[in-house]
């Protein structure tokens, strides 16, 4: 049996659009020891492919991290399979807040060194000595205490479209940048109560352990992340203290929590929280773009990229070939992507200033 996808993205997208049944988007993670991640990966692919599951799953010796789309009529079989496996039994499942079933178009299961690319050396601190897990209601109540320090442990493009009230949202591109920034900038506040949160909770596991290793005394984390918080607060009829949209790493790119738009288009400053990837295949920069700018720039982040995608395909192929022959991936990032990110930050700060 095949152990990978053989169809093109276009073919898979057509299959997804033609489906006449409902799907449910779920996510889960667990730190658990896998002796042979590769063999486990192949076993899961065989079973979950037959159940018509889609999604992005990372497996490492340290555990599993998954975001998936499962056909409604196969949910029972899927959970039966999970519970039959010691490592996955009784797994806490997080259900998507807004779900049209179009979150993933293929099944991808990859073996990675870690289930989250955190950039940390796990041998330098006790990764099991994590912070106190707060239920969504407990976290909700703690948010009202002005003495608590609330830290968004996600990247800037995630927190820009949605975050908790009074949260500190570092303007960083990577988890490693953020955790080092928190340790450095809040070293004098180690006796304070820290409230950490992220999308589903997995990043906070390492973050809380790292902070405790560096002497932070009272570290707490939102169990189940923003996804669990949104579900439980809604069920209890409480007013959400999360404003805006929760960024998600699938085709949806976000799900609204309280129907509030707190971000702005990076190109014109109009209220907008819709992320898009630049239509230029040699860029694919992730940025916020309103409908008007999408039409004006043809889905691109700059006039330069717009000009490139409007060239005949043969010329685009030649340009791409020359550029990739001349520069390495790191050079491409430094020379093309990083300047664009800097300009987006300038635009973002300009629009914030104009609002105030």
Distances in whole angstroms, Cα of residue 11 to Cα of each of 5, 18, 106, 214: 11, 11, 10, 49
- Nearest Cα to 263, choosing from 173, 162, 165, 153? 162
Cα torsion through 137, 159, 286, 183, rounded to 10: -110
HEC assignment per residue over 158-192: HHCCEEECCCECCCCCCHHHHHHHHHHHCHHHCCC
Cα torsion through 223, 138, 79, 95, rounded to 10: -80
Pair of tokens at residue 88: 């996955």
Q: Give kind and range of the element (H or E) at residue 286.
A: strand 286-288
Helices marked H in the chain: 9-18, 37-50, 75-83, 136-142, 156-159, 175-185, 202-213, 225-236, 291-297, 303-309, 313-326, 329-332, 338-355
From 53, 198, 204, 293, active-site residue: 198
CA 24/CA 101 separation, integer angstroms: 6
Phi and psi torsions of 39, nearest 5°? -65, -40
CA 33/CA 60 separation, integer angstroms: 8
CA 164/CA 153 separation, integer angstroms: 11
Does 293 participate in catalysis according to the annotation? Answer: no
Long-range contacts of residues 344-351, Cβ cutoff 8 Å, at least 24 apart: 344/266, 344/287, 344/301, 345/171, 347/266, 347/267, 347/269, 348/160, 348/264, 348/266, 350/269, 351/264, 351/269
CA angle 340, 56, 136 (to 5 degrees): 90
Residues designated as active site: 198
């Amino acid at each position: 049996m095949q152990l990978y996808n053989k169809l093109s993205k276009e073919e898979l997208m057509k299959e997804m659009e033609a489906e006449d049944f409902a799907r449910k988007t779920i996510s889960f993670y667990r730190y658990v020891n896998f002796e042979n991640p590769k063999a486990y990966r192949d076993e899961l692919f065989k079973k979950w492919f037959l159940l018509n599951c889609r999604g992005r799953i990372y497996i490492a010796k340290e555990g599993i991290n998954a975001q998936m789309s499962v056909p409604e009529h196969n949910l029972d079989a899927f959970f039966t399979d999970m519970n039959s496996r010691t490592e996955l039994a009784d797994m806490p499942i997080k259900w998507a807040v807004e779900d049209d079933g179009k979150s993933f178009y293929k099944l991808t299961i990859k073996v990675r060194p870690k289930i989250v690319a955190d950039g940390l050396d796990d041998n330098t601190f006790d990764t099991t000595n994590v912070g106190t897990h707060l239920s969504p209601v407990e976290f909700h109540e703690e948010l009202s205490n002005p003495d608590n320090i609330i830290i968004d442990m996600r990247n800037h493009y995630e927190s820009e479209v949605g975050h908790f009230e009074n949260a500190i949202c570092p303007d960083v591109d990577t988890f490693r940048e953020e955790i080092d920034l928190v340790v450095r900038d809040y070293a004098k506040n180690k006796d304070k109560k820290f409230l950490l949160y992220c999308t589903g909770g997995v990043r906070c596991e390492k973050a809380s352990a790292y902070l405790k290793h560096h002497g932070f005394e009272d570290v707490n984390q939102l169990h189940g992340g923003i996804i669990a918080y949104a579900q439980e607060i809604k069920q209890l009829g409480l007013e959400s203290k999360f404003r805006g949209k929760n960024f998600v790493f699938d085709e949806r790119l976000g799900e609204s929590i309280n129907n509030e738009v707190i971000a702005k288009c990076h190109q014109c400053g109009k209220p907008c929280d819709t992320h898009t990837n630049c239509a230029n295949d040699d860029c694919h920069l992730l940025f916020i773009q309103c409908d008007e700018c999408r039409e004006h720039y043809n889905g691109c982040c700059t006039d330069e990229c717009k000009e490139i995608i409007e060239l005949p395909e043969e010329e685009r192929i030649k340009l791409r070939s020359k550029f990739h022959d001349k520069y390495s991936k790191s050079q491409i990032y430094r020379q093309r992507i990083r300047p664009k990110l800097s300009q987006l930050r300038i635009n973002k700060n300009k629009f914030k200033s104009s609002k105030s």
